[in-house]
Structure 1
Amino acid sequence: MYRQLLGLRQLTRRTISSSARRQLDNTVKDKQKVFQEDNGVPVHLKGGTMDVLLYSATMFLTVFGSGYVVYELFSAAMPKKPR
């Protein structure tokens, strides 16, 4: 049992220490150029299509939620008449 655990320990050390790291390109400079250029686009929309979709969804939910709150407050303020 001890030999098996020792063999497993050596195997895990070998695979972790010998595995190559993935090299990622540093894209921070490119992102800074895109976000800092003065082209008239608001900064919250400069990220591309996904930013536009998230912004539109947020605005829709905000307007819809505000309208629903006003509707519910109005319906709570005006009680139904008994028949």
Structure 2
Amino acid sequence: MNRHIFTLQQVARRTICSSARRQADNKIPLKQKMFQEDNGMPVHLKGGSSDALLYRATMAMTVIGAGYVVYELVKAAFPQKK
């Protein structure tokens, strides 16, 4: 049992303290180039279909929220008679 614990400690120490890092591609220059080019699109839609979906969902929630606020204000301004 002690051997298993020692092995687990070695594996944990090796993954945390290892100086060898995984090499990842730097995608920032590609994103900068994509967002800075002048193609007539607004910057909040240059990310593709996921950005367009997030934009539309945000606008829908904003309109629904504003409508609900107006509804509650009208309901509070004209209370129901009992």
With structure 1 as the length reference, what TM-score do the two structures score?
A: 0.76
Give the match for residue 63 of structure 2. 63
Q: Which moved more, 1:7-16 or 1:30-39?
A: 7-16
Q: What CA RMSD, in Å, does the superposition of the two structures yield over aligned residues?
A: 2.9
Give the match for residue 30 of structure 2. 30
**Bigger radius of gyration among the two:** 1
**Partner SS, residue 50 of structure 1:** helix
How many residues are treated as equivalent by the alignment? 81
The aligned amino acid for 2:10 is L
> Aligned equivalents of 2:37 and 2:52: distance in 1?
18
Match status 1:50 vs 2:50: yes
Q: Per-residue deviation at 1:9?
A: 7.9
Deviations 1:16-70 (A, max 9, x none): 3668532211111111110001111110111111111111110000000000000
Structure 1 segments unaligned to the other structure (5+ residues): none
Share of identical aligned residues, percent? 59
Structure 2 segments unaligned to the other structure (5+ residues): none
